[in-house]
Structure 1
Amino acid sequence: MRTTTGPSAQQQSGEQPPATQQSVEQCPECGADVPVDERFVRWCAACDWNVDPHPPEPPKGRIEEGRRALARRHGERLLTEMTEAGEEPRPRRDASALLAYGLALAVHGLTAALLVAGVWLTAAVPGPGVKVVGVLLLLIAWSLRPRWRKLPEGADLLHRSDAPELYALVDQVAATVGTRSVDTIAVDADVNASVTTYGIRGRRLLTLGLPLWESLTPQERIALLGHELGHYSHGDVRHGRVLASAYRSLSLWAYYTAPTANPTLVEMAVNLFYLVPRTLIHGLILLLDQLTLRATQRAEYLADAAAARTASTEAAVGLLDRLLVGSAADTVLRREVNQAATRTTGPRSGADRAGEERPERLWETVAAHVASIPESEYARRRRAGAIRGHAVDATHPPTHLRRAALLAGPASPAAVTADAERTRRVDGELAPLRAAVTRRVIRDGVR
């Protein structure tokens, strides 16, 4: 065994993680040199030994199995389609999308029919038994009704008057990708980011997960905003209310007709009675998947292209790499939160009190850990993703395919940039929510 010592990369906030012991061992399969970092999985790039020590769980149920099969069918062909033209792909609406909308409207039409039938049976038809059926239909229709999202309760929100620089940055990104900007910004402790709609007027909410946001460079943050807003500029079918609410209704129907485990004789009869409608519901879900899955995966490539056009191809590729190691950021966040919670329950030293006064140290630690991840770990995760294919997430193309699509085309320069002063102002606007989220996750833990 050969042992070397080297410092890890310095992350953008200036905090340097401690040097880690790195060594080289021989692969037990082929004898090739295997670099070892005790924090990460040992694997061999020459023969793929131990490249994926924890493969994904098999699909749960026929619906998930069908979605993975559809994703595999579309995956490689879609990558070829998105890269063979030699130019940035464009959004399009095809017959499948129109059929999906028609099917979604039919699902909502059934809900409306249940409502009308329930009102008629309850109000116009005599007989207590009929009225019970009418009330039951009304209750089912009420549960299936389309719903508008609300702002999450207890969310840490940032309004325009509180963060003019951050909103100006989001506005500029939205204009670049060709869509309207957001109305509200929320901050949480998830290793994620999203743009969703809420309220009857379809206002937009941008949610920034601090573990991800703090681990990105300024240009990668712009790429993140470009990707999330790009879903709306390209007309992602599953981001629309009609299809999203239809999926919810079908999922509820599947729940209502699901077979009872360990049934009695009566429950066995009910399970048998529900067999035909349950099969029909599962078939409708798979049909809706068949009609929309290709467009949904295409939308991810289009959103990646929007990120590259906004922040540069280099930044968009860097964002995908950071997303690839998101679980590492989540692991170190949980560790630091548990340690901080333990310190707060015992006698507090001066260092502990200083930590409470500087809540950004939590996010500096997470960002420093992500910045210190060696290239070999990125390579392992890309290789494991290539082996898994669509076995983890059928709605998104595997990250290695998205990365390949970005690198296949001409490199795009940045249309939106953030210099050091602009980044400092944005960080200052986020500081109060950063402290609030830190206090909450230390108090309540990470979900």
Structure 2
Amino acid sequence: MEHDLAVQVTERQMCPECGHALVAGDERFPRWCAACDWNVDGAGPDAAEPGRLAAARRRLARRHGEELAAAMSGEATNRPRRDAASLLALGLALLVHGVTLALAVAGLLLVVLGWETVVQPIGGVALIVVAFVLRPRMYRMPQDGPVLYRADAPRLFELIDDVATVTGTAGVHAVVIGGDVNAAVTAYGWRRRRVLYLGLGLWEVLAPRERIALLGHELGHFAHGDVRHGLLLRQALRSLVLWVETLAPSRAHTLWDTLFNVMTYLPRYAAYGLLVLLDHLTLRAAQRAEYQADVSAARAGSTDGAVGLMDRLLVADSVQMLMRRESVAAQMTGGAAGRAAREAAERGLWERITAHVTSIPADEYERLLRVSARRGHGVDDTHPPTHLRRQCLARGEPHPGHVDFGDERAAAVAAELAPARARVARQVILSHTC
């Protein structure tokens, strides 16, 4: 959706900083000044930075996002090149896996060759256990919610196939339905079967063209070869995160705690430094893949649909908070009355969420765009800032959308999703306790 920057104002409340009238939103959202941005981000710029690593990633994401947004004009449809940074990242990933293999081999040798002693086999077993924990793993089928296969939802899979054709890739083997305000793709098993995770907290609030854009964006990650979707790098990053968490310092209650902290100081910061370096080396390529996936979204669902999708991502926190309130409110009463309240909450959950998002005024979207520009807001700490993704779409080549999603097709897909909608609504309502 496009937002009129001439936002509404009220004459009753004036800005304490510049004296201009404040934006007249409704009572659900903060009042702010469109002239000087007073109170535009009442939570503060650091509110979305939960930890040191997340903060570092967000700073890198913002910097690379701004650089790429300025450089992507005319490049967004190109497939990513294996530049020096990506090649170095692959080399470091091999080094990480090499360390895991070396631990396993060293442990095995200690057990076999030092069997006559006591200490060596014990140390060998410890090394083998560590190597086992850090080993590369094939991802399993996600179990976040109902799993649909082609036989369960042929019209949905037909739609996904059409979107995949437009984006230049193949479809998926399965669709997992969840309640999050999110969507994602991954591959599982040794055969690397593709799976799409579809969060109804996002899907249900989207218009038809925005839903096509969402599918186009996710499948675009397969089409453009997102470096972080590669098994080698994903597993290396996972291993390094485990190293950092395992070697994290503990409170020095005893002498052994102090000794552990001293002994793990250098390995801990070596692992952390390597993790940050891998993040730095792969983040630019990953962000380029996000911009390219956005172009795939526009091709499939239209530029307007892709821009509308970006706007809905801005209110994801509001949707998540509403789902939590719905859950808590439905569980306030016990007994038969409580069961009736929960059933009523389940039946109308998605309709109430959609009505909530539809009722959000245009000036609140404008405020959130300004917050995005201040914080470098992204859907997580690795994505380009949302406002930059929106700008690139709005300023790029306009696309009319090449995948049809008319009323008849939309109704057929909705009918196939109906059982999963009911089941996931129940999961959402029961997911929080009072």
Report the secondary structure of 1:37's partner residue: coil
Q: Aligned equivalents of 1:105 and 1:400: distance in 2?
A: 35
Of 227, 249, 255, the match for 2:217: 227
Report which stretch shifted further, 217-226 or 39-48.
39-48
Q: Aligned equivalents of 1:123 and 1:289: distance in 2?
A: 38
* 1:428 shift after superposition: 0.4
Letter in 2 for 1:444: S
Contact 1:151–1:198, Cα closer than 8 Å, also in 2: yes
Q: Aligned equivalents of 1:364 and 1:87: distance in 2?
A: 36
Of 359, 362, 379, the match for 1:375: 362
Of 232, 256, 267, the match for 1:266: 256
Residues 89 and 372 of structure 1: CA distance in aligned 2, closer, same or farther (over 3 Å): farther
Deviations 1:80-137 (A, max 9, x none): 1112x37745422211111111110111111111111111211233312111111111
Please name the residue that 1:27 is paired with.
15
Deviations 1:262-293 (A, max 9, x none): 34333223222222222211221121112101
Letter in 1 for 2:15: C
**Does residue 413 of structure 2 align to residue 423 of structure 1?**
no
* 1:312 shift after superposition: 0.6
Residues 152 and 90 of structure 1: CA distance in aligned 2, closer, same or farther (over 3 Å): closer
Contact 1:258–1:278, Cα closer than 8 Å, also in 2: yes
Residues 382 and 150 of structure 1: CA distance in aligned 2, closer, same or farther (over 3 Å): same
Report which stretch shifted further, 266-275 or 325-334.
266-275
Q: Aligned equivalents of 1:190 and 1:340: distance in 2?
A: 18
In the alignment, structure 2 segments of 5+ residues that lack a partner are 1-9
Q: Aligned equivalents of 1:71 and 1:399: distance in 2?
A: 11
RMSD: 2.4
Contact 1:24–1:36, Cα closer than 8 Å, also in 2: no
Q: Aligned equivalents of 2:230 and 2:410: distance in 1?
A: 33
Of 35, 42, 51, the match for 1:53: 42
Q: Aligned equivalents of 1:403 and 1:93: distance in 2?
A: 26
Of 391, 409, 414, the match for 2:401: 414
Q: Aligned equivalents of 2:332 and 2:51: distance in 1?
A: 40
Report the secondary structure of 1:73's partner residue: helix
Contact 1:359–1:434, Cα closer than 8 Å, also in 2: no
Residues 58 and 306 of structure 1: CA distance in aligned 2, closer, same or farther (over 3 Å): closer
Residues 52 and 197 of structure 1: CA distance in aligned 2, closer, same or farther (over 3 Å): same
**Does residue 203 of structure 2 align to residue 213 of structure 1?**
yes
Of 360, 370, 373, the match for 1:386: 373
Letter in 2 for 1:439: R
Residues 63 and 213 of structure 1: CA distance in aligned 2, closer, same or farther (over 3 Å): closer
Contact 1:313–1:412, Cα closer than 8 Å, also in 2: yes
Contact 1:25–1:36, Cα closer than 8 Å, also in 2: no
Report the secondary structure of 2:430's partner residue: helix
**Does residue 352 of structure 2 align to residue 362 of structure 1?**
no
Of 388, 408, 414, the match for 1:401: 388
Report which stretch shifted further, 100-109 or 432-441.
432-441
Report which stretch shifted further, 118-127 or 437-446.
437-446
Deviations 1:13-42 (A, max 9, x none): xxxxxxxxx996322322322213011111
Please name the residue that 1:124 is paired with.
113
Residues 444 and 78 of structure 1: CA distance in aligned 2, closer, same or farther (over 3 Å): closer
Q: Aligned equivalents of 1:127 and 1:111: distance in 2?
A: 25
Contact 1:71–1:390, Cα closer than 8 Å, also in 2: no
Q: Aligned equivalents of 2:90 and 2:76: distance in 1?
A: 29
Report which stretch shifted further, 393-402 or 376-385.
393-402
Letter in 1 for 2:139: R
Q: Aligned equivalents of 1:442 and 1:177: distance in 2?
A: 36
Residues 373 and 390 of structure 1: CA distance in aligned 2, closer, same or farther (over 3 Å): closer
Report which stretch shifted further, 86-95 or 273-282.
86-95
Please name the residue that 1:43 is paired with.
32
Please name the residue that 2:72 is paired with.
82
Contact 1:189–1:446, Cα closer than 8 Å, also in 2: no
Deviations 1:407-443 (A, max 9, x none): 1112111011200000000000000111111222223
Q: Aligned equivalents of 1:136 and 1:236: distance in 2?
A: 36
Please name the residue that 1:115 is paired with.
104
Report the secondary structure of 1:444's partner residue: coil
Contact 2:379–2:386, Cα closer than 8 Å, also in 1: no
Contact 1:297–1:396, Cα closer than 8 Å, also in 2: yes
Q: Aligned equivalents of 1:98 and 1:114: distance in 2?
A: 25
Letter in 2 for 1:311: G
Identity of paired residues, percent? 50
* 1:223 shift after superposition: 0.4
Contact 2:300–2:401, Cα closer than 8 Å, also in 1: yes
Deviations 1:144-193 (A, max 9, x none): 11112222346311121111000100111112111221111111111111
Letter in 2 for 1:182: V
Contact 1:312–1:415, Cα closer than 8 Å, also in 2: yes
Q: Aligned equivalents of 1:335 and 1:61: distance in 2?
A: 26
Q: Aligned equivalents of 1:392 and 1:325: distance in 2?
A: 11
Q: Aligned equivalents of 2:350 and 2:385: distance in 1?
A: 28
Report the secondary structure of 2:248's partner residue: coil
Residues 198 and 107 of structure 1: CA distance in aligned 2, closer, same or farther (over 3 Å): same
* 1:337 shift after superposition: 2.6
Of 296, 301, 305, the match for 1:315: 305
Q: How do 1:274-289 and structure 2 match up within 5 A? A: 274-289=264-279
Residues 434 and 80 of structure 1: CA distance in aligned 2, closer, same or farther (over 3 Å): same
Report the secondary structure of 1:187's partner residue: strand
Q: Aligned equivalents of 1:293 and 1:251: distance in 2?
A: 16
Q: Aligned equivalents of 1:68 and 1:437: distance in 2?
A: 31
* 1:227 shift after superposition: 0.6
